[in-house]
Amino acid sequence: MSRPQLHVTVVRHGETNSNLKRILQGHINTTLNKAGREQSELASHRLRKMKFDHIYTSDLSRAKKTAEIIAKNHPDVPLTEDIRLRERDIGRLSGLSIYKALDLIKEEESTWGDYGESDEDFKAQVVDFFNDMIANHLPRNDSVIQSPNGKDSLKNKPGMMKRNPHVLIVTHGGTINKLVKEHLIMDLGFFVNNYLSMKHKAKNSSITKFVVRRINKPSSVTADDDDATSVISSNTAENESDSGSEKAISTQRNIERKIRIEGDVTLWSCVSHLSLQGKRTHGDSQIDDYVH
């Protein structure tokens, strides 16, 4: 029998007027514009037949509203807001156009990392969310697979259809890049089905998918991986601990006991639900890398 696995679908929020005007948002609580609501409705239609066990969303309005639109087709699925899914706080750059922000950085002889929260702290909170999701939703290799009604079913129980759990995350472009490109691919070595697609950032209302599996624990390992809370790589943790920040130090402590996992990024930033309707989105230009 194949190992149980966790399926994860990640959706970037729909368009805002700030996206349209190339304005940096960060933690500013911007709302979806008309195009963003249409994009979210199209994403919702595309995902309508998916069987989700839980929906997690950033608490910022642009992501929360996108999640609520998608959740209308899944009325019985729990929806949880989580501040760890927020975009990176960029401090004084928030609310500035990308052009004014670049001028300010040049004028002050600084870098992007000098504004708002550090990149290390931002990554630490994204990884912390991922760890909790794995702990709560990834089945043990010897466990039963959740049935569609969310209750545990016994192996080979007659008349009970079994499936792997499936989680939906609705969040921001920077958060998606940090989770998928940096943590899953660079830190954990997840296999990527189509590397060419990764040259683009996550577009508005785009859909990204990955699967997670436990690695069978070698007999020499004695720690109980069910008690583990972190899957971040040792190299990354060491780099983060050098920053001396509270979040980074906490991450360093957590990697002492790891859930051993592997997985695949099966889809990246797909917006076919928009192209079929002739709708536009953002995410193809170099400047869009900064406008989340």
19 marked among binding-site residues: yes
Query: Which one from 38, 41, 87, 240 is the annotated catalytic residue?
Result: 87
The C-alpha atoms of residue 215 and residue 24 are separated, in whole angstroms, by 40
14 marked among binding-site residues: yes
Which spans in 47-153 are helix H?
61-71, 98-107, 119-137
107 is catalytic: no
Do 289 and 215 form a contact (C-beta atoms < 8 A)? no
> Element (H or E) spanning 110, and its range?
none
62 marked among binding-site residues: yes
Task: Give me the residues paired with residue 214 across strands.
Answer: 261
262 is catalytic: no
275 marked among binding-site residues: no
Do 60 and 172 form a contact (C-beta atoms < 8 A)? yes
233 marked among binding-site residues: no
Three-state helix/strand/coil letters over 233-266: CHHHHHHHHCCCCHHHHHHHHHCCCECCEEEEEE
Mention every residue, 6+ apart, whose C-beta is less than 8 A from residue 106.
none
Structural tokens at position 205 = 């209302």
Long-range contacts at 191-196 (CB < 8 A, ≥ 24 apart): 191/263, 191/264, 191/265, 192/264, 192/265, 192/268, 193/264, 193/265, 193/266, 193/267, 194/268
Query: Which one from 13, 166, 172, 273 is the annotated catalytic residue?
Result: 13
Structural tokens at position 25 = 């948002």
Structural tokens at position 214 = 């436990």
Task: Give me the residues paired with residue 16 across strands.
Answer: 32
88 marked among binding-site residues: no
33 marked among binding-site residues: no
Where is the binding site for substrate, in residues? 12-19, 62
**Annotated catalytic sites, by residue?**
13, 87
